[in-house]
Structure 1
Amino acid sequence: MANSRVFLAGLCLVLSAAILVYPSRAVTAAPNSAQPKLVDKDAQESIDKGLKYLANTQRPDGQWYPSGSYGTYPTVMTSLAGLALMAGGSTPESGPYAKNVRRAMHYILRVAEAEKDGLIAGA
């Protein structure tokens, strides 16, 4: 039972990464010079700085631990940070932040394995 949960969690993460990295041709619009470029140079620099910040603040065990005063939800923060790195083009196997995505994935799987029912809502 635990092995199937781990497999499903890993499969969901890999499929999410694949969807982000390899969008469907039906969804991808044909290039059109009349369409505005959505991410200009300044925006891309900000995105790159944000991704670098995330990579530099990840803990060795793979999590991102929040420092706010509204409670701590490291699994949620780790999931969101990992998703941001994947949206930036990295997967667990490739990209500039592959190591960070892989560590985040392993952290989430460890949390899921530690819960008897696999529910990680309170983690």
Structure 2
Amino acid sequence: MLQRLAAFGVVGAGATAAYVSGSTVLVYLGVKAWVAGPVVYAAIVPLAYLGQRNVVFRSRASHAVAFWRYVVVQVGGLTLSFVIPWLVGDRVPPVVLFLSVATVVSLASFILMSRWTFGHRNGVP
């Protein structure tokens, strides 16, 4: 479990760095935070899926099973990446805002992926 969590951290750190930096750059270019976050988040999903499936969870589940579950988890994360900036607004610096979003989404994602998306339940090996 510790090794899996470390691998999740490495794959997630790359995705998180891309999310935070990409979203922050867009905000500084004039894009609203509630638009920048979800746009960047959605762009990262396919590569993050492959990293989580193949490196972290080493899942043998078919893409037809695992990918739609991954997308459901990511839609939840995408929703948070919209709602949190919308609620917080300009009260904190963008980098603090997006690091907070990334932390909340990462924790929730690990739990859901390990138990449902790539877990051994519901017939997923």
Q: What is the TM-score normalised by the length of structure 2?
A: 0.38
Q: What is the TM-score normalised by the length of structure 1?
A: 0.39
Which structure has the larger Rg?
Answer: 1
Structure whose residues are more often helix by fraction? 2
